[in-house]
Amino acid sequence: MNPYINNMYHKFLLMCLLLIASNELFCQDSTEVIPDGTQGETITISKHDTVLTLGNWNEFDGTLSTLKLGGGFLYEYGTYIQDDVSKEQIDMEPAFKVRDFRFTMSGKVKVKRFITWKLGIMYDAPSNSWLIRETGIMVGVPELSGHIFVGRTKEGFSLNKVMNGYAGWGLERQMALDVIPILADGVKWMGFLPKQRLLWNIGVFSDWLSEAQSFSTYAWQFALRAGWLPFYSETNNNLLHLAVSYRYGEPEGGSIRVRSRPEAITAPYFIDTEIFPAHHSNQFGGEIYFSSGPLMLGTEYYLHQFSSPQTDNPLFQGGEVVASYIITGESRPYSTVSGIYGFVPVNKSVFDGGSGAWEVVLRYSTLDLNSGTLTGGKFWRITPMVNWYLSENVRLELAYGYGVLNRFNLEGVTQFFQSRIQFML
């Protein structure tokens, strides 16, 4: 991150801290009793106290804004069985690896209009550096039937891409979404019409703040996603979600490289176009999800077309089909604010004497990077896995994968054995 960008984000962080810390430094003469909505208790604060009002241990109530401290940590192991052809295609070794380590802050500003803010800072192991992740301000705009977000966020292309990575049903998002940058800086409008059950998000983004970031492969991009819920019941979590996405982008410097790992962070890249010239890209997608209580069925499919006369304008494609069932009865919640699924609730955690929540998942995914004059390869994978949510903060994932790689005029088979432990606030 260049010094100018780093300085701007430090100022944003300082502003947020000062906003929250102003809570009781200038309190009134009388003693105030503040209800704690989470615990059902009250905390008395006198005029001499300078501490913040507590909800949960990581939640604070300030005069101008609330504050919630959070974070996450992912650590995993992967090992493999390769046939002779696969070994000829690519070298692989068993490995332990930190997948993600981050700190977050968020809060709600105490004004009449709905305004929230968030700040994310992540340690990136490959570059040995700290990076700014999702950071910005969201403003409720009922006049436009939704919310406007300004800052660094997901573009809005694909339900699975927009979802919090810690809430996903798989170890990694499907390979076909690796073509889309994980984050972008810009403005996004999210809306929902309850009566018509229509939802949308529209975003415009540029690289004027993120040019030095590894995810910033586009000079600017536009993303649109529109969905319809033919039926939706929040009380029993029954819904059918239909949506389409479109994205236009102009790659940074007039060239781009498309590649993907085999849904295993401990593995090398399996398919890779190398760098090729491209003026712009047009990307199209469709998604269907059905939920009924603990059952969720879904599919997404995407086309990635690049304007590149030198390589015969390649068209890459891929997608996934997934089935999930939470055998302990919990339901994966759905949010109409951005049209995505949220975190799996846990009826009774292991730490309270319960069994936690158990989820079984079966998934098929594929991505084809052979098109035009480019031979990046084609890979498909079948993944059965089990997720054990010991509590809402701790999750253990166990996965087996069977994958086939077509590349270098060879077809190799790899079996994947993966595990991950996840901690989250």
- Please write the tens of the pLDDT for every residue from 277-288: 999 999 999 999
Q: CA 60: distance to chain centroid?
A: 25
pLDDT for 214 equals 75
**What distance in Å separates the CA atoms of residue 267 and residue 76, rounded to the nearest whole number?**
12
- Vertex 59, ends 58 and 60: CA angle to 5°? 125
Angle (CA) 86 92 95, round 5°: 150
* Fold of domain 3-22+64-424: Porin (2.40.160)
List own/partner pairs for 351-357 with CB under 8 A and 24 or more apart.
351/390, 351/391, 352/391, 355/328, 356/328, 356/388, 356/389, 356/390, 356/391, 357/326, 357/328, 357/330, 357/388, 357/389
Distances (CA, A) of 423 to 74, 160, 379, 391, 409: 7, 20, 31, 10, 42
Nearest to 405 by CA among 78, 126, 83, 161: 83
Write the pLDDT tens digit of every residue in 230-278: 999 988 889 999 999 999 999 999 999 999 999 999 999 999 999 999 9
Residues of the chain with pLDDT under 50: 1-54
- Label residue 188 exposed, middle or buried (CB < 10 Å: 0-12, 13-18, 19+): buried
pTM, whole model, 2 decimals? 0.86
Amino acid 27: pLDDT: 32
- pLDDT computed for residue 76 by the predictor: 96
Q: What gap in Å lies between CA 199 and CA 52, rounded to an integer?
A: 38
**Phi/psi zone of residue 274: left (φ > 0), alpha (ψ -120 to 50 degrees), beta?**
left
Whole-Å CA distances, 238 to 232, 331, 341, 360, 367: 6, 10, 12, 19, 30
Angstrom distances, CA of residue 301 to CA of 42, 103, 154, 169, 242? 50, 32, 18, 17, 12
